[in-house]
Structure 1
Amino acid sequence: MNRFATLLDSLAYEPSRLGKLRLMTDYFRTVVDPDRGFALAALTGALSFRHAKPALIRTLIYERVDPVLFDLSYDFVGDLSETVALLWPSDRVTSGAHALRLGEVIATLEAASKLELPGVLSRLLDGLDETGRWALLKLITGALRVGVSARLAKQAVAELGGHDANAIEDLWHGLAPPYLDLFAWLEGREPRPKPDDPAPFCPAMLAHPVTEEELAVLAPADFSAEWKWDGIRVQAAVGTGESGKIIRLYSRTGEDIFAAFPDLIETLARAPRGQFSLDGELLILRAGRVQSFGVLQQRLNRKQVTAALLTDFPAHIRAYDLLGLDGEDLRALPFVERRRRLEDFVAEARLERLDLSPQIAFGTWDFLAAARRDPVAGGADADAAAIEGVMLKRLDSIYVPGRPKGLWYKWKRDPFAVDAVLMYAQRGHGKRSSFYSDFTFGLWRAGSDGDEIVPVGKAYFGFTDDELRLLDRYVRNHTTNRFGPVREVAYGHDEGLVLEIAFDGVNHSSRHKSGVAMRFPRVNRIRWDKPAREADRLETLERLIAD
């Protein structure tokens, strides 16, 4: 456990990407199995402990420390694991847990029942120092926050065998912690693992935002263009097992979400081919028209799917790539060839819930820019409300995991923007725990006693570090009330700070007091020059929904 705690502590203080890579590679090279495999699982978010929740950790610390003291400390520190690790009584510390290996700690936690877990966790925390307690709590909550992405962790382990991260990505979803077969292959002790899943997940290929400078040096003739749909990325995989067809519907990260979409599973089961894998966008279509993301949300994250949901929110896949067919891996083919095969596949399948993402004929970037600004003029017809922009794909691009440069680009439509009034602020987490960085903002509307400001959303990013310091100072100097960790700032006709909020869309929402929900709101500009009375009204957002 000490080695894992040291690794996390070192990663948290290492600012450089290459430095983090060296720390992880050294750890994977020198730590024995199964500990290094479980560390890899923790760094990639592949570990979970069903009963070890933040509420349990709070309960344990409340039994040992005055709850008011803990809440005040947590508000200041901003990180649950760090606060508990620092406040856990040192006079309770026993010997033993610090000597446990990471694999033994995980086995102990997994073997504990829900009733046993509080006692087991308490004994482990009693046997660790501050850094060890912090690492243990980070491990069980899954919120490491040490500046390491899953991709970077996979790259670190890949370097053991002289491979790149894509070699690990290709295998990843057929492996399980502690990855003994993966490390054996990387160290040359065993052959490359061969996952036997007949309908495997293929790591998704992602796009870079394109800039005006990049467009100036790119040749339109080298690219294909298609609409960027405001849905969720999915991958449909069909294979043949001992019991017949096996059908999977994966999210972009590889989570199997088939249970929430039985209508799509039934459709894919009727495909004439027994083995295929296609990439596309999950949408809701009504009378042939793509609905907004707000409508799609009615089908997402559902544990139970009723007949009414299936009828009122019919799911649909709009395909834009074919990754495999009849046992042949197509990802090494150029995009233009994969697209041709996809067109043939969709035409042959003739499934009512599967169609092609249409391509946009263009000859110049100016023409495509006009279509991006006005999708209806660009041929999108009634589906324009569900279009985020356009995608650019090199005709010769192969399908590779991650976000390779120069192959796929996304060119999103210009965001909407409103001038809103800052109402509340809360401290952030991790490196932002000392700053008020989470901002609630509102717009004007008519109230029973005249105009009032009603909250319409929250923003956590969009500002620079220098702007964050200015916003933090403003909140501290203009606080009028406190509600636990939340500060209310002065706002009204004659006082208040206006923030220009950019967002990608807006929908009706019964869960919000304002009746609207904004999509991806962020602070675009701080309007120090604008009085709060001149901020926008709620009707501005409501008109966008009507449009």
Structure 2
Amino acid sequence: MNAFARLLDRLGFEPSRTNKLRLMTEFFRETADPDRGYALAALTGTLSFRHAKSGLVRALIAERVDPVLFALSYDFVGDLSETAALLWPAPNESIGVGGEINPPEPTLSEIVHALGDSSKSDLPGKLARWLDALDETGRWALLKLITGSLRIGVSARLAKTAVAGLGGKTANEIEEVWHGLAPPYLDLFAWMEGREDRPDPSDPAPFCLAMLAHAITEADFEGLDPAEFIAEWKWDGVRVQAVSGQDHQGVRATRLFSRTGEDISAAFPDLIESLEQIRASGFALDGELLILREGRTQSFNVLQQRLNRKTVSARLIAEFPAHIRAYDLLRLDGEDLRSLPFAERRRRLESFVAAGASPRLDLSPVVAFGTWAELAKARLEPDQFGAGADAQAIEGVMLKRADSIYTPGRPKGLWHKWKRDPFRIDAVLMYAQRGHGKRSSLYSDYTFGVWREEDGARRLVPVGKAYFGFTDAELAQIDRYVRAHTINRFGPVHEVGHDESQGLVLEIAFEGLNRSSRHKSGVAMRFPRVARIRWDKPAGEADSLETLSALIKSGV
């Protein structure tokens, strides 16, 4: 476990992609099975066990450390796992559970197996013994792993690329068989090292690695021929892939995947049931997950009611019916269509959707345009180009070369996304909290507000939170401001001075607004981020809640 922890620690502080790949490839080459397989599962987010709650970590450290010291340390460090790892006493100083002297260091596979088999009552004792046996870095990694908060700046794709480096393969080759594999990936590593043949991707409904688009601006259209592209609406939903197929025994499997390949089928049984009625021996659709009510596409805020749920009730399914708006066909009846031009795939998709006649599946319409000026107008006024009542769920246009094949990753020059310009308001910083990981010592999580008239007086009301958008230099500036202007503390949250005469104004960019009964202000922002710091603007001149309400009324 300590070796894996050292890898995580180095990855967390390594900015270079090349060096991250080198570190992971060396680790996979030098580490024996099954530990390296479970390490790969941890890095790709495919480990499955019951996560420990933060309360368990707090209880264990409370048995060993003065609570005042822990509170002061936690406030300074800002991260529970790191604080507990640093304060955990050496084994011969332990006074609680797991006080064994010089216990053996646990392996990663031992920890994974134990977590899968442990009851709730057994977990505290096992966790304490592991913490006794590990060094500071090992304890930190263990706590991050078991609490489900392992974030070190490494994507699943990058980890697979590192494994591919063992056998001179590409990440795409691994992606083709990935969903037929399971931790600790013994067959995958045997293939990479030439000891076995390529694993048989026998999964009847495998995920296809998604093709992504590059952002484009109006200035980028110079030299591009409109006749070579097909345009579609960019829907404000969640990209998904619907896959269905039969195994060798004729048993059918239908799955719904997120853009990154996470199987989210269990959260959408209504959609799976509808897709299974389509008469085809197998298919793979690329599209957008949306909520439709009475034929009208709902906002992303409505879709959120169905997201990130392990189970769903009949009432939730009835109130928020899931729907797929398809825009590509990747496989059909055993034929891989990804090498065909997009125009041909689109033609086959149109026929497939029409023949399927599924009430939960429709076709993303093509946006007709002849010049870039016409497309620019469609982007800003979708209701004038056939979108009708669905215009509220459109956040721009997609532009695809008619001759583009479906290539995994983000190839240049083939697909482009042209989103509407973000909306911007000036808001006042009200509260700040330390971040996590490399930001654990900096105040990087901000709650901001706008003015509202209450009982004849103007008061700030929180309207959102922002965690990104600023540079490292700007983060340091805001951090210094927070420390110098803190007027109150609520646990880890610092209240920053804010009234008519004082306050830091932040220009906030966001993609859209919705009414929300869950927020005190009555509004919810879509993707808010800090666009710039308005050192020049007095807090009293920040925007008002009426400004946001007007944006909602205008259809933002």
TM category (shorter chain) comes to: over 0.9
Written as runs of structure 1 = structure 2, the 5 A alignment for 1:101-250 is 101-241=107-247, 242=249, 244-250=251-257
Aligned equivalents of 2:239, 2:532: Cα separation in 1: 30
1:292: Cα distance to partner? Answer: 0.9
8 Å Cα contact 1:198/1:239 also seen in 2: yes
Aligned equivalents of 1:30, 1:48: Cα separation in 2: 25
Written as runs of structure 1 = structure 2, the 5 A alignment for 1:138-537 is 138-241=144-247, 242=249, 244-537=251-544
1:448: Cα distance to partner? Answer: 2.6
Query: After alignment, is 410-419 or 129-138 more displaced?
Result: 129-138
1:501: Cα distance to partner? Answer: 0.9
* TM-score, scaled relative to structure 1: 0.95
8 Å Cα contact 2:447/2:464 also seen in 1: yes
1:227: Cα distance to partner? Answer: 0.5
**Counterpart residue type for residue 9 of structure 1:** D
**Counterpart residue type for residue 160 of structure 1:** L
* TM-score, scaled relative to structure 2: 0.93
Q: What is the aligned-residue RMSD (CA, Å)?
A: 1.9
Alignment length (residue pairs): 546
Change in CA separation of 1:264 and 1:106 when aligned onto 2, cut-off 3 Å: closer
Residue of structure 2 equivalent to 1:5: 5
1:165: Cα distance to partner? Answer: 1.0
SS at match of 2:26: helix
Identity of matched residues, % = 71
Change in CA separation of 1:44 and 1:260 when aligned onto 2, cut-off 3 Å: closer
Query: After alignment, is 11-20 or 297-306 more displaced?
Result: 297-306
Aligned equivalents of 2:76, 2:413: Cα separation in 1: 43
8 Å Cα contact 1:78/1:430 also seen in 2: no
Deviations 1:363-420 (A, max 9, x none): 3322212211111223322211100111122222222333333322211101111111
Aligned equivalents of 1:75, 1:365: Cα separation in 2: 54
Aligned equivalents of 1:382, 1:530: Cα separation in 2: 38
1:94: Cα distance to partner? Answer: 3.3
Residue of structure 1 equivalent to 2:97: none
1:449: Cα distance to partner? Answer: 5.0
Aligned equivalents of 1:450, 1:173: Cα separation in 2: 59
SS at match of 2:387: helix
Unaligned runs of 5+ in 2: 95-99
**Counterpart residue type for residue 33 of structure 1:** D
8 Å Cα contact 1:21/1:152 also seen in 2: yes
Written as runs of structure 1 = structure 2, the 5 A alignment for 1:44-63 is 44-63=44-63
Aligned equivalents of 1:524, 1:346: Cα separation in 2: 41
Deviations 1:63-107 (A, max 9, x none): 211233223222322332221111001234732433x43223322
1:362: Cα distance to partner? Answer: 2.1
Residue of structure 2 equivalent to 1:18: 18
Query: After alignment, is 307-316 or 72-81 more displaced?
Result: 307-316
Query: After alignment, is 423-432 or 363-372 more displaced?
Result: 363-372
SS at match of 2:210: coil
